[in-house]
Chains A and B, each alone.
Chain A
Amino acid sequence: MRTLRRISQTLFLLIFIFLFVETEYSGTGQIPYPVKFFLDVDPLISISQVFASHGIPPGLPKGLAWSLVLVFMTCLLGRFFCGWVCPLGTLNHIIGKIKWKSYSITKTRAYSSWQKGKYCILIGLLVASLFTLQLVGFVDPLSFLIRSLTISINPVFNYMTNSLFLFFYKADMGFITSISEIIYTFLKDILLSFNQPYFKQGFFIGLIFLVILTLNTVRSRFFCRFICPLGALLGFLSRYSVFSLDRGEDCNSCGKCLSHCQGAASPGGDGHWKKSECLFCWNCESLCPLDVIHFRFQWPFKSQKKKIDLTRRHIVVSALGGLVAVPLIKLDLMPKNPNPKRIRPPGALSEEEFLKRCVKCGECMKVCLTNGLHPSLMEAGIEGIWSPLLIPKLGYCEYSCTLCGQVCPTGAIKELTEEEKKKTKIGLAFINKSRCLPYAFQTSCIVCEEHCPTSPKAIWFEEKEIVVRDGSVERFKLPHVDPELCIGCGICENKCPIFDTPAIFITSIGESRSKKARILL
């Protein structure tokens, strides 16, 4: 069984990586693989969506129904997802296996009463979402992993690989270079991103990820045991599962199982087996020298202790925490003082609805063709940290592309048809005449107009004769923006030759998702 579990973990990790890599444009306007599958099966995401919207929200992607399958299977079999499927769990598992000299294995793998922390986190998150504050994305393991990979790990991997092959390319070592180029082309085809990705906050999000991985040296599966709210939810669901550990009378409490228990669920020894902590990794059964530990189907309402080690006080305090977080975070000046840079991807719901739905998984940022979507810091308030923003200076919104809506797991970004997308305004362009070449320096330039994708073009020219420095008269084309036609895609800002502070720039005013942002009668 243990071998089977290892095969399952490897397989799901590989599937996860494959789907992650395939979250990219692949030659058709549609993503061919179910790239958001792992987020679809995540019941924490679907429950928080339902809680925050006080019902099944309109346009909730059908894929989230997969999470019911996981709920059902967990009720039946327990937290097998954590031990057999979860890619973050597998990563934690691998790192936790490394034997660090300074810690005694028994200590790092024994049950700690702090493990109830994850239930408190879960209660806090769910209470907050019931009061419309969606914070699940910050700690949900799948959102966390996809976000970390997208924003930080994948760019780092690309950077290292690109630099390595650039070295061989520049060194121009004949045969060696030709071999390295073949390998490089192959890697570009199957693994690397099309362009080197860059993300704002890449450093910090990467740092958090590394900290989480490193914590495995303090306690193996640190995140899974102490933090993971999805693990807590599944643990709660597994209370009456029919699959249980059966410890024989002959157990001599040697403690061998304890030092290899992934969930610190006390399979042997003095304490009771803690079902909600058990990841069904099968280590205890395989290792028991007396062969007294077995997993069996059992009538769930029998004598075994199944209560989660949680007092009423814990529950009340964490619920209160979640409750207080709502006004604390929502009492932000954002609605009264909207940030002009809060440009959302096309198809994003109205800001209030959007924040209820977005789980900050970073799928949209991974798939964005131009690398224009970045995690926000404070542009959308605390609630909106790591939600996607378009930064046109870094990457514009490609006119005929609808990928971000296709990969959004929660429908925070609606899936648009190409025709709908082309009519969706995400902002409006403004010209800074003191920086624009023809206005400021009497120099020809039509770059913004040339790139404007709408027809008729939103940027039009006023042709004007202007007296230049030597007194002669020259004709210039002075660009103007037609606010009826501009969709705010930002290609003008992106391609403006005055690139440090572009002479044409987008702000979020006029975005079609907001009635309030309307500026034209």
Chain B
Amino acid sequence: MREGFTRRHFIKVLFALGIGTSISPNLPSLLNSVSEAGETGERPDIAVAHGSSPGRITEAAVIALGGIKRFISRGDVVFVKPNISWDRVPEQAATTHPDVVGKVVEMCFQAGAKEVKVSDNTLNDPRRCFVRSGIEKAVKEAGGKAFFMDDRKFKEVDIKGEIIQSWPVYKDILEADKIINLPIAKHHSLSRLTMGMKNWIGAIGGSRNILHQKIHASIVDFAIFFKPTLTILDAVRILTRGGPQGGSLGYVKRMDTVIAGVDEVAIDSYGATLFGLAGKDLGYVRLAHKRGVGTMDFHKLAVEKLEIG
């Protein structure tokens, strides 16, 4: 137990774990992360965790936000949407880090989720993407189900967006009780960066290659439609050039960070700072802010920074 462990910390920890949960074997590390967190005393809007273990910083960020039980209830069917678009390995930073995905699946089950489904509409052959990204294996080890999207299960639904009226969306996402967005922070040659909001392009079917014509408005229309319960932006490694697919390890920068929260606009805006940009530099972030999806002024929000050893 660390020094300076106060009653307040203890209450925070209790809250984080959820009353009635059995004592987690990770308790010491949880206490550690919480006690290192800022002394805001309130639940932050955005948790930014930094540390060498992708799984542990993911866990710490969620705990800082109030714990997984804040987002997932007993019996929920959860759909987790990582970015598995490309036939690339984690070191190339084109797909969400498998440990981040694995940890989230594990936490969902800890919260009593009935089923945790993980999928993405990939751009390269899905069989290769699922294997090489390491995500299939990580999900399986955490007890979840990673599966390829089935063409029959795209359902044309009303998006009621500004430019997207209706579009085919994957049925399991529509039917899930909770959806969790697990994007990776990457350079993108058209939208500049792809992070949280743009990740929803992987949840839909149809002729996705025509969305590029009005990329910002399309991204925002889908971001409004999907409304995830929780978003965790993987910035363990970020892709600074050659996005969204990357390739060369020279494009990759190690940040050892995840950014978690509910407001996707704020998360994307915060994520932009990792690339030396601001949220307002990104068309879709500006537009989403304007349309009231969230706020790009994350400075006005409570941001808790955690250092996980």
Contact = CB atoms under 8 A, between A and B. Distances in A.
B166 interface: no
A455 B242 contact: yes
A480 to B, nearest CB: 13
Contacts of B245: 450-453
A444 B242 contact: no
Interface in B228-258: 242, 244-248, 251
B6 interface: no
Nearest to A25: B127
B189 A169 contact: no
Contacts of A25: 125, 127-128
B124 interface: yes
B246 A446 contact: no
B273 interface: no
Interface in A448-472: 449-457, 461
Interface stretch (A12-20, A342-350, A380-388, A398-406): A398-406
Nearest to A454: B247
A457 B212 contact: no
Given A169-B152, A398-B128, A444-B215, A451 B247 contact: no
A27 B137 CA distance: 11
Interface string A182-217: 000000000000100000000000000000000000
B165 interface: no
Nearest to B246: A455
A151 B189 CA distance: 39
Contacts, number: 70
B124 A449 contact: no
Contact of A369 (B127, B214, B248, B251): B127
A106 B131 CA distance: 58
Nearest to A166: B152
Contacts of B1: none
Contacts of B209: 445, 447, 495-497
A116 interface: no
A306 interface: no
B213 A453 contact: no
A477 interface: yes
A437 B245 CA distance: 22
B125 A443 contact: no
A447 B128 contact: no
Interface string B116-158: 0000000111011001100000000000000000001000000
B125 A453 contact: no
Nearest to B137: A27
Most chain B CB neighbours (cut-off 10 Å) among A25, A400, A443: A400
Contact of B125 (A398, A449, A454, A495): A398
Contacts of B127: 25, 27, 194, 369
B46 to A, nearest CB: 29
A447 B214 CA distance: 13
A370 interface: yes
A311 interface: no
A28 B213 contact: no
Nearest to B127: A25
B87 interface: yes
Contacts of B87: 398-400
B190 interface: yes
Contacts of B131: 27-28
Contacts of B189: 446, 449-450, 461, 477
B208 to A, nearest CB: 9
Contacts of B40: none
Nearest to B189: A446
B184 to A, nearest CB: 15
A40 B62 CA distance: 57
Contact of B247 (A166, A444, A455, A496): A455
B192 to A, nearest CB: 11
Contacts of A443: 213
A456 B242 contact: yes
Contacts of B212: 444-447, 450, 497
Contacts of B251: 455
Interface of A: 25, 27-28, 166, 169, 194, 369-370, 398-401, 437, 443-447, 449-457, 461, 477, 495-497
10 contacts: A27-B131, A194-B127, A401-B125, A447-B212, A450-B212, A451-B123, A451-B245, A455-B247, A455-B251, A497-B212
Given A369-B127, A399-B87, A444-B213, 5 more contacts: A25-B128, A447-B209, A455-B242, A455-B247, A457-B242
